Amino acid sequence: MKEFINAIVKMAREVAIEHHGFVEEDGFLFSPSTILLVGEIEESNRQHLIDQALASGNKDMFLELIKN
């Protein structure tokens, strides 16, 4: 019975990845909306660091952040 359940779980993961845009990383499935949210948070953090570099006059930090 356990093998049967494992096979169903494996097939469900494959369907989620292939047909619904899920991403598997380190054994976890992430939905497309989660991936977008993480990207938005990373960009927000980068923008905040750019603002800090501008406010402090840190040219090197600013140039490093805008080249990526």
Q: How does pLDDT run across 1-58, given as a tens digit for each residue?
A: 999 999 999 999 999 999 999 999 998 999 999 999 999 999 999 999 999 999 999 9
Nearest to 13 by CA among 27, 26, 2: 27
Written as one letter, the residue type at 18 is E
Residue with tokens 């494996």: 10
Instruction: Give the model's confidence band at 68: pLDDT under 50 very low, under 70 low, under 90 confident, else very high.
Output: low
